[in-house]
RNA sequence: AUGGCAGUCUGUUC
């Protein structure tokens, strides 16, 4: 139980993961929840591929236990972190075979997986099939296009007025980050200013963008604005990390 | 003991 709960923490060290793996091997009949927990831990670890060997051992070799949608969500996460299109295609096949593709969470994670791996055609057609009114699916797809620099298509999806639930604070952040990644800070800034809500990620995205392109003064200005804006967006570790280089550049680094 | 219930869930910055 102790081990299970330490695996539920957000980050699990390699050592704990290793130990958990050994202990897990001693458990005679782990139930579905236990299997999911260890697969989840593996998926988020530095060796996501371990999730797949655990899956095959527990669900295929050892028992006839049936995986559930959680199991596949974690495998999808592992696969996305591996960024492996071929593993993704196989996993997709398994999911369809077992009938889990109708689960909205699984479907969105699939869209995310293909978008992450660069298989935008597959991601887009999954989206068109059943997910056009789902903001999570849409933003996963937008992120995929933005990642590959296809900002025109990304923007089209973002601006789509023909569907419902097309935007939230996350999708605004994704679109802003897309411009930032291409070094288009003016476009990023324009969107940022138009955004109905900003959270800490919105601010961090802009600050990191200015820092990365060497606009350290602008980065520091944003930080000042962020503090004045107050509200729900208080700075976090990511904010500080981006600011470090800008402070160093301006000579304002007093430690 | 058996049965049930609960717990794990998708997209953005670092």
Strand, helix or coil for residue A62: helix
- The answer to whether A36 and A69 are in contact (CB under 8 A) is no
As a rounded value in angstroms, the CA-to-C1' distance for A41 and B4 is 28
- The answer to whether A210 and A246 are in contact (CB under 8 A) is yes
The residue among A9, A16, A26, A82 whose CA lies nearest residue A49 is A82
- Could you give the angle at which helices A216-229 and A237-250 cross, rounded to 10 degrees? 130
Q: For the ranges A8-22, A25-39, A91-105, A117-131, which has the lowest average pLDDT? A: A8-22
The residue among A47, A68, A50 whose CA lies nearest residue A59 is A68
The pLDDT score that the predictor gives to residue A26 is 81
- The answer to whether A238 and A206 are in contact (CB under 8 A) is no
As a rounded value in angstroms, the CA-to-C1' distance for A5 and B10 is 22
Q: For the ranges A20-34, A173-187, A220-234, which has the lowest average pLDDT? A: A20-34
Percentage of residues in chain A with pLDDT exceeding 90? 80
Nearest nucleotide to the CA of A206, by C1', is B13
The DSSP element (H or E) to which A177 belongs, if any, is helix A169-181
The reply to whether A151 Cβ lies less than 7 angstroms from strand B is: no
The model's confidence at residue A18, banded by pLDDT at 50, 70 and 90, is confident
The reply to whether A109 Cβ lies less than 7 angstroms from strand B is: yes
The pLDDT score that the predictor gives to residue A10 is 54
Checking A124-129 for CB contacts under 8 A at 24+ apart, the result is none
The reply to whether A27 Cβ lies less than 7 angstroms from strand B is: no
As a rounded value in angstroms, the CA-to-C1' distance for A37 and B7 is 11
Nearest nucleotide to the CA of A109, by C1', is B10
As a rounded value in angstroms, the CA-to-C1' distance for A28 and B1 is 20
The reply to whether A174 Cβ lies less than 7 angstroms from strand B is: yes
Phi and psi angles of residue A237, each rounded to the nearest 5 degrees, phi first: -60, -40
Contacts of A216 (CB under 8 A, 6+ apart): A210, A245, A246, A249, A250
The reply to whether A246 Cβ lies less than 7 angstroms from strand B is: no
The residue among A105, A104, A77 whose CA lies nearest residue A91 is A77
- The answer to whether A74 and A113 are in contact (CB under 8 A) is no
The reply to whether A166 Cβ lies less than 7 angstroms from strand B is: no
Averaged pLDDT, A190-213: 97
Contacts of A225 (CB under 8 A, 6+ apart): none
Token pair recorded at residue A184 = 């288009």
The model's confidence at residue A73, banded by pLDDT at 50, 70 and 90, is very high
Residue found under tokens 């669900």: A59
Query: How many H-runs (helices) and E-runs (strands) does chain A carry?
Result: 15, 0
- The answer to whether A94 and A102 are in contact (CB under 8 A) is no
Q: Can you state the percent helix, strand and coil of chain A, rounding each to 5? A: 75, 0, 25
């Amino acid at each position: 139980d102790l081990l299970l709960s330490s695996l539920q923490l957000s980050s699990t060290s390699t050592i704990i993961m290793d130990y958990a793996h050994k202990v897990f091997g001693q458990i005679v009949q782990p139930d579905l929840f236990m299997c999911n927990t260890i697969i989840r831990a593996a998926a988020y670890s530095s060796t996501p591929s371990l999730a797949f060997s655990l899956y095959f051992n527990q669900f295929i070799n050892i028992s006839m236990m049936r995986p559930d949608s959680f199991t596949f969500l974690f495998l999808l996460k592992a696969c996305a972190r591996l960024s492996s299109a071929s593993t993704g295609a196989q996993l997709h096949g398994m999911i369809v075979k077992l009938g889990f593709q109708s689960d909205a969470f699984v479907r969105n994670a699939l869209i995310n997986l293909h978008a992450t791996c660069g298989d935008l055609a597959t991601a887009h057609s999954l989206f068109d099939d059943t997910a056009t009114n789902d903001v999570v699916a849409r933003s996963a797809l937008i992120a995929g296009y933005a990642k590959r620099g296809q900002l025109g298509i990304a923007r089209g999806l973002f601006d789509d007025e023909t569907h419902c639930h097309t935007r939230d604070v996350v999708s605004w952040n994704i679109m802003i980050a897309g411009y930032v990644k291409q070094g288009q800070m003016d476009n990023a800034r324009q969107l940022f200013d138009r955004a109905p809500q900003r959270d800490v990620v919105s601010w961090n995205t802009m600050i990191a963008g200015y820092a990365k392109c060497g606009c350290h003064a602008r980065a520091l200005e944003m930080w000042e604005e962020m503090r004045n804006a107050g509200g729900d967006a208080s700075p976090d570790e990511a904010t500080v990390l981006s600011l470090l280089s800008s402070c160093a550049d301006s000579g304002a680094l007093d430690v």
